[in-house]
Amino acid sequence: MKKTDILENEYSVFNATYIKAATDGDLYEDLEISLHSFIRFVQNISMDKFDFRYAEGKWTIKEIIQHIIDTERIFSYRALRISRNDQTPLPGFDENEYAENTEANNRHLQGLLTELSIVRQSTLALFKSFSEEQLKRIGVASNHEISVRAIGLIIIGHQKHHQQVFEERYL
């Protein structure tokens, strides 16, 4: 499954940015490659930058890594529910409330990266378990229709979006 397989009615306008940020390779390969690329990128950041905020009220790099982890867990759960043909509309979540209630800044960087890697491996196993029919299923999340396969691309694009934010505002 590739990005070019996705139809515009499979995701919301809000998620289009993340879909566009994903590469047009194989979904499973890109889930794995993007993780390794992100970890290498983060490991090359100077240690004094991880607790830096570029403006008041903005998240630190550690908080953003935790946000990526939390968001991937939520999106994987959505993919599971939709793949199983659960038609229950799934609620959104308040990312700022989540960020305020983590201990990301008190964690070691390696712990965050290990958790991200474990979550991604779980996500990858989940997506590999889906049939073509399940990948095409559409459900409702955050008041918008979304397909399982679009969720996979959004996970990749969301991570890439934040890497770009690191490059532009933190480094």
Strand partners, 45: none
The model's pLDDT over 111-140, given as tens digits with 9 standing for 90+, comes to 999 999 999 999 999 999 999 999 999 999
Q: CB-hemisphere CA count at 13 Å for 26?
A: 7
Q: Is the pTM of this model over 0.85?
A: yes
Closest CA to 134 of 150, 157, 155: 150
- Residue 34's φ and ψ, nearest 5 degrees, are -65, -35
pLDDT band of 1, cuts 50, 70, 90: confident
Terminal alpha carbon distance of the chain: 34
Q: How far apart are CA 124 and CA 98, in angstroms?
A: 24
Average pLDDT, the chain: 96
Task: Please determine, for residue 72, whether its predicted confidence score (pLDDT) is greater than 90.
Answer: yes
The pLDDT value recorded for residue 20 is: 94
The pLDDT value recorded for residue 21 is: 93
pLDDT band of 24, cuts 50, 70, 90: confident
Q: How far apart are CA 83 and CA 169, in angstroms?
A: 37
CA dihedral 51, 55, 59, 65 (to 10 degrees): -70
Task: Please determine, for residue 23, whether its predicted confidence score (pLDDT) is greater than 90.
Answer: no
Write down the domain spans for the chain: 10-170
10-170: CATH superfamily? dinb family like domain (1.20.120.450)
Q: How far apart are CA 104 and CA 113, in angstroms?
A: 11
The pLDDT value recorded for residue 58 is: 95
The pLDDT value recorded for residue 61 is: 97
